[in-house]
Structure 1
Amino acid sequence: MAEAEKEPKAVSDKEKKEKKEKKAAAEAMETKEKKEKKEKKEKRAAEPEEGKKKKPKVEEPVVEAKKEKKEKKEKKANKEEKADKEEKAEEAAAVTTEKEEKKDKKDKKDKKKKAEAEAEAAPVVEEESKTKKDKKDKKEKKEKKREAETEAAAEEAPAKKAKTETPAATAAPSGDSGARVYLGNLPWTVSEEQIKSTFEDCGSIGNIEWLMHSDTGKFRGAVFLEFDSADAAQSAVQKNGADMDGRAMKVELAQPKKAPVAVEENEPNESVFLGNLSWNVDEDSVRAAFKDCGELSRIKFLEKDGQFMGKAFLDFDTVDSAKAAVAKNGEDLLGRPMKINYSKPKTGGGGDKWGNANSTGKPQRSYTPANPKPEGCVELFCGNLPYSIDEEKIAAFFKEVGATVTNTRWLNDRETQEFKGIGFVSFETTEEVDKAVKKAGDYLDGRPIRIDYAGQKKKENAWGGKW
């Protein structure tokens, strides 16, 4: 029993001893850990610089990541900006290319239009070249004509005589009073009052005929004086060589005007030949000269290669009117004695009513409409118009057949803007167009007018507003 009680007590002491050992071991372990911690702390305190150097090493990856992110962002922005610039450049290039293509198309279109216009205007250019050549030839012929007129004036004024020589009044042929005096080498500024004052002691001057150049209309520095008597003319001749404003006057008895050469009259008819005309003659002056003869229905001025020949044909309404006109043979018209005779009738062959053949042998272009009249037509095309044409002349031209002109349109060259000799004439009614067509081939200022229908008039105009 006593042994049984000792055995549990021994077990209890053993447990206590084990617990005590475990506790001591734990305390030792704790002490060791504290010591290690202390050593670490002391070691950390002893090496502060090393700790500071280690800290950046820990933060360095973060900074580099931020820097790398920033660089990537900048690269992306630069890339986007570059892409935008390239896109804008491509758009601008596309716009420029489109503009260039449009410009090229426009240039090609303009070139095509210009080529077509040149092709259409080719005949006109040839006609203009011919006109320029004709003008040059005409100018040369006018200069020759002026020289001829000067020679004619020299023939009319007799050869120079000595101042002491007094031509006899009987030198004038029968039928001339000897009262006509040639006065030359005059100053350009001379006046009628100055001439009359210079010769007032010689006698009364009834008329002064001023001599002009036919092509320019300028004063030739010479006149013819008509005195009231032969004695007055003889007295005036004594002043030959006298001074007038620094010029020595030429004073001579003028030779009498030559009477027209008598020609055998042709068979009387309504048509009359008119010759020896001045270069300055026009339709108005001819009509004025024959206004008392009867109705003058047509005047045809003759030309050769575009040069006026100083001749014309006149058509009267009756033979009696033509006879009255022929009776004026030798009368003065613009300083020239007219040569008048009945025109010879056409004897056969090609040509016009006066027997003038077509020298080229080619068919003449018709002056009448080539196509039938469109329904409701109130406008006519007129060609071969004179360059002196205007609204008043064309209106008077068609008024002769009772047609009233309401509007005119003259066509000019696109480049030079010079009149092309063609135009369009409008009338009030289509019935008046029928009347106006009868004037086809009639002469206006020396040119036969070509007429054709221009088409039916619409709201805007006969061509629908297009040219």
Structure 2
Amino acid sequence: LKLNGAAILGLETEMARAQSYDSSIKTKKERTERILFAKNLPYSTTADDLRKVFENAVNIRILASNKKGTSRGAASIEFKSAAETENALKEKQGADVGGRQIDLHYAGEKSTNMQSDLETVVVKNLAFKATESSLQNVFKNAVSIRIPKDDSGRSQGFALVEYPNKKSARKAMESHKNVEIEGRHICLELQGAPSEKSKTLFVRGLSADTTEETLKEAFDGAVGTRIVTDRDSGASKGFGFVDFSTAEDASAAKEAMEDGEIDGNKVTVEFAQSKRERVKGGGSGKIIKGKGGNAGIGRGTFRGGRGTEKAVKKMNPVEEAREVVEPSLKSEGKNQTD
């Protein structure tokens, strides 16, 4: 350390004690407690725009969806201390940026711990013309409201409304049974909880041109990726998996990619679930096909399929994808006629 700052071959040196593996983990954890993710930003938002709102931030980064630097509508904002981060979350939640109310969340483990109690109500049979603002007038105590959009920006006919706990979510469901929004009577149900401990994310809506390398670059902290391909042609099936070292890293990456794009395609990101979790929660009728047999079991959010397939010892990539629970909501939204 005595050589710190000394000139060697004309260059100033910088010396420091080597960190142990445990201390580097601790440092990373401390840093994530000082970072907030900001979502629902206009795509035109710049770091300078956010600095006007978060004046004491030490680092602001607009999250890009591809190598061209196209914004995802999200950003990471770092502060000097955990206390400043907490104050920013309380004071700036819902702040107006470019005409949109921003949604703030912690990064890393703290985000996972805070979200473990969150309960999501799925609003189905939603009119395509319904907006998040019109839903806010109905679900006034919700902490977050999101209407998933397709590639053209049109509503998929359902919404996800988050509440701080199961009690408040159930109360909302009781209070808003058969409520009419924009001329349609909505249907409500609780969404099945994702696997908070999963270290793997399932990504849908990928472009046929997206490679495993591009997919890895889109997710900070990813350690591995797999794109599911057709057995015969080798073409991408449009979905894949992203692995992380920890569940906290996976959770943070999922938050950052919410409503994001990869290679120009809007993608949907879910926690990957094991076969055991899928059976426990009830399978999706769209995933499992068969010519008869027992109906899917479980009391999960989505109904089981009408048939089953015999298990095989060696799984091909497509069968591996069946280990993931895919919400079958998009097809229900397409059945609307308005």
Question: Which band: TM-score by shorter chain?
Answer: under 0.3
**Larger relative helix fraction:** 1
Structure 1 length as normaliser, TM-score? Answer: 0.20
Q: Which of the pair has more CA radius of gyration?
A: 1
**Larger relative strand fraction:** 2
Higher relative contact order, chain-length normalized (CA < 8 Å, sep 6+): 2
